[in-house]
Chains A and B, each alone.
Chain A
């Protein structure tokens, strides 16, 4: 019979260790045994600390990284003392005291305080009152993240002290604020815990190519600056200027509370194989604050193992459970460079076998350290395709094949099936959320047949996302070949269960001309806000000028024909075809900028002029005064056609790229599409206008011909365009460009840029439709495009005739 009264379990620390341990306890029926109270110093639920640098660099929102929102604690009847710091443990009274005076009595206590940043003694780091000098930050929690984001904005140079894993993550974050970023590292090479000197040097070179300034073997002597940071002084006498300084020199176990409670603390809080402190059978500890068999761990995988052992033990599910230490292996991405590291980085005994491969030019490095036929350590840099196998061989200490080469490279590509079958079920696939191959397989057996479903259920791949590819493959393998596709991934919009061609057919059949009609008649999810712009784009493609334009279906940019900025102001980019302007036009732009006190004038990458920071109310007046058409620099539309000087002046020019660009713009201006369309024309194969990395590019070649390229990109994704055709006239060039664009408009997914579309459909298929007319639809495509071209109207004319009431008002007066 269960005891009538529940035991009181107090957990100090609501980070990845504390919360995970509670989850494991709940999973073993702990809710019936314990009344749980948690102290969390930070005022929110539990989040994935591994993703903090993604928050800093803007690729994740804060909201994206929560593991357990506050509601989760309620749901499991856990009392979370959020924002309360535990200040003392009264062991004789069995109570924990919080900084707000709260007293939490315990029968069992778990310490999961994690770690604190190690701040080396550097002169000038602090103000006389002991606080950090403005501009100096540590980088450990969400609050640090927010402070850095606020301060870094508009600054020029940032320095990170520490070139370990966390330091490099911080550097990546700072780069996002367009700072010149310096990394200053005391050791002789970067990431010296995970890499050897050769790999460190290769990583340095790669990072330098990415614009990070790396200083290794450098000791920071002082932070310079009276009231705020202005630079760093090194002990060799050199110095650098910087206005932001992030100290990321490592972490140390957070042990203060344990020391004061009289527990045994060496480098960390000492625990035995049951995660129990040797001093007090009621007190346990886990995570980054503990020391187990002399080891301290700063990675997430050991913590998962510890949480399981402790939960087994506390709930009595398995009193024999024991933790025997972790074999540390990491796989991560540092600024796009893939790194895997496990075990030792250098041979330690005579007779240790070292197998190595280096290709510095490509940033590839592979190293294995083998003893008695077993893997003791490995470093993979640049190409980590063999990491899954090696991590398993390392973890399980399996004997290695005699052919060492096959450990570094896929020789004749063995079937993936064999590999997955061989993979031990306990092998961890997702290192962020601690999901093993076995759990994935179990989830598939329990009925989840899609990768997305398995990921949602197990949370695999929902952390940093690095393992998503592997999860997909394992799910496919566990499904006995092909996993089922999540049907919704094929829908054009999530609320209507139809693919794009099916949806187009349904819209044409029902003659649905407005977004509200489409939602009314076809949506299963009512009026879905996020689907509205996608449907507006599609209707415009189908009906051209005949589509019934409902402004509420448009994103704000397309309601006011300007691009919204972070402060709610807008940018104005007038059309400047081919980047060719005139003195009179420049004078007019200058006058407008003066008259409306435009805070920033910026030359864009598309050879135009951007008036930035304009209030919504001023938009119509500015358009009127400019008297230039819209450049459409705000929508999912044709944007611009960049050009070089071409044949008129350039001594190398073979074709009139400038004139062609103007004619391209004349034809495609304002055309809406599933994604942005950025074009370019180049007057010769030197390609000064970068036509090979545009959605559509034309390059003049000898003999009066133009090469047409499609599917290029040079933004978040870089891809060289593929040759669609070589034409001998501008007219034919325009025709093929238009036909390609219309084919893209009709067949691409919403927000799928041409680089994705061309890759997915294949250039051969596109060429056969657009050039050879293999499907007999060329004429129809041309006509549909022509209809859209004919429907062009300059939206800036709405300056004189607004389309909706108060279209350009940001604040309405009260009228009674």
Chain B
């Protein structure tokens, strides 16, 4: 299921913000290259708020213990653990649309 979250201007370039979609929390990032990328909002390590993390390219760094993830694949850089990722795009009106599948 695709959900429209709102205008891209809600998220400053290079930063992320968290959204609640139903019971699910999603961290959406607006990269400096103008892309939108969406993953689960909590870090699988200790529940850190991923939307508050630093990003560079498609790498995300959790603010609590600096775990690193790839925003495209969801993979942690040390291999084992994977974030839930959500396909995200901008519609013609410049609004963020996220596919939350079975949500």
Residues in chain A within 8 A of chain B (CB atoms): 44-45, 61-63, 66, 69-71, 516, 519, 526-533, 550-553, 555-556, 559, 564, 566-568, 804-806, 809-816
Chain A min CB distance to B53 (Å): 7
Asked if B56 contacts A531 (CB within 8 A), the reply is yes
Set of chain B residues within 8 Å of A814, measured between Cβ atoms: 3-6, 19-21
Asked if B17 contacts A812 (CB within 8 A), the reply is yes
Asked if B61 contacts A529 (CB within 8 A), the reply is yes
Set of chain A residues within 8 Å of B78, measured between Cβ atoms: 63, 66, 69
Contact A552 to B4, CB < 8 A, known contacts A527-B57, A532-B56, A568-B48: no
Best-buried of B3, B63, B76 by chain A (most CB within 10 Å): B63
Contact residues on B (Cβ < 8 Å of other chain), bracket: 35 or more
B23 adjacent to chain A (CB < 8 Å): no
Asked if A552 contacts B55 (CB within 8 A), the reply is yes
CA distance A448 to B52 in the complex (A): 39
Contact A815 to B7, CB < 8 A, known contacts A552-B14, A566-B64: yes
CA distance A564 to B15 in the complex (A): 16
CA distance A812 to B63 in the complex (A): 19
Please pick, from A532, A806, A813, A816, the residue contacting B4 in the complex, using a CB distance under 8 A: A816
Asked if B17 contacts A556 (CB within 8 A), the reply is no
Provide 12 A-B residue pairs closer than 8 Å at the C-beta atoms, listed in order of the A residue: A528-B57, A529-B53, A529-B68, A532-B54, A564-B52, A566-B46, A568-B49, A568-B52, A805-B12, A806-B11, A814-B4, A815-B7
Chain B min CB distance to A332 (Å): 26
Set of chain A residues within 8 Å of B66, measured between Cβ atoms: 530
Chain A min CB distance to B72 (Å): 14
Asked if A564 contacts B56 (CB within 8 A), the reply is no
CA distance A105 to B42 in the complex (A): 42
Contact A529 to B65, CB < 8 A, known contacts A63-B78, A811-B25: no
Chain B min CB distance to A802 (Å): 10
Asked if B56 contacts A530 (CB within 8 A), the reply is yes
Set of chain A residues within 8 Å of B32, measured between Cβ atoms: 516, 527, 552
Set of chain A residues within 8 Å of B54, measured between Cβ atoms: 529-530, 532-533, 552-553, 555-556
Residues in chain B within 8 A of chain A (CB atoms): 3-7, 9-15, 17-21, 25, 32, 45-49, 51-57, 59-61, 63-68, 76, 78-80, 95
Please pick, from B15, B25, B55, B65, the residue contacting A61 in the complex, using a CB distance under 8 A: B65
Chain B min CB distance to A490 (Å): 22
Query: Top 6 nearest A-B pairs by Cβ distance?
Result: A552-B14, A529-B56, A815-B6, A69-B79, A527-B56, A556-B52
Chain B min CB distance to A514 (Å): 11
CA distance A530 to B67 in the complex (A): 11
Asked if B57 contacts A526 (CB within 8 A), the reply is yes
Asked if A806 contacts B10 (CB within 8 A), the reply is yes
Please pick, from B18, B20, B45, B79, the residue contacting A70 in the complex, using a CB distance under 8 A: B79
Chain A min CB distance to B1 (Å): 13
Given contacts A516-B32, A553-B54, A814-B3, 16 further A-B contacts (CB under 8 A): A44-B80, A69-B78, A527-B56, A529-B54, A529-B61, A550-B14, A551-B12, A567-B47, A568-B48, A805-B11, A811-B19, A812-B5, A812-B19, A813-B20, A814-B4, A816-B95
CA distance A810 to B52 in the complex (A): 8
Contact A564 to B18, CB < 8 A, known contacts A805-B11, A814-B4: no
Contact A528 to B19, CB < 8 A, known contacts A63-B67, A805-B9, A810-B49: no
Contact A552 to B13, CB < 8 A, known contacts A529-B55, A812-B6: yes
List the A residue with the shortest CB-CB distance to B9: A805
Set of chain B residues within 8 Å of A564, measured between Cβ atoms: 49, 52, 63-64
Best-buried of A528, A553, A568 by chain B (most CB within 10 Å): A568
Best-buried of B4, B9, B19 by chain A (most CB within 10 Å): B19
CA distance A814 to B97 in the complex (A): 11
CA distance A529 to B63 in the complex (A): 12
Set of chain B residues within 8 Å of A551, measured between Cβ atoms: 12, 14-15
Set of chain B residues within 8 Å of A530, measured between Cβ atoms: 54, 56, 61, 66
Chain B min CB distance to A229 (Å): 25
Set of chain A residues within 8 Å of B67, measured between Cβ atoms: 61, 63
Asked if A556 contacts B25 (CB within 8 A), the reply is no
Chain A min CB distance to B26 (Å): 10
Chain B min CB distance to A515 (Å): 9
Chain A min CB distance to B32 (Å): 6
List the A residue with the shortest CB-CB distance to B67: A63
Set of chain B residues within 8 Å of A63, measured between Cβ atoms: 45, 67, 76, 78, 80
Contact A529 to B59, CB < 8 A, known contacts A69-B78, A551-B15: yes
Set of chain A residues within 8 Å of B63, measured between Cβ atoms: 555-556, 564
Chain B min CB distance to A517 (Å): 11
Set of chain A residues within 8 Å of B12, measured between Cβ atoms: 551-552, 804-805
Best-buried of B46, B49, B76, B95 by chain A (most CB within 10 Å): B49
Chain A min CB distance to B101 (Å): 17
List the A residue with the shortest CB-CB distance to B98: A814
List the A residue with the shortest CB-CB distance to B79: A69
Set of chain A residues within 8 Å of B53, measured between Cβ atoms: 529, 556
Best-buried of A552, A556, A814 by chain B (most CB within 10 Å): A552
CA distance A532 to B63 in the complex (A): 13
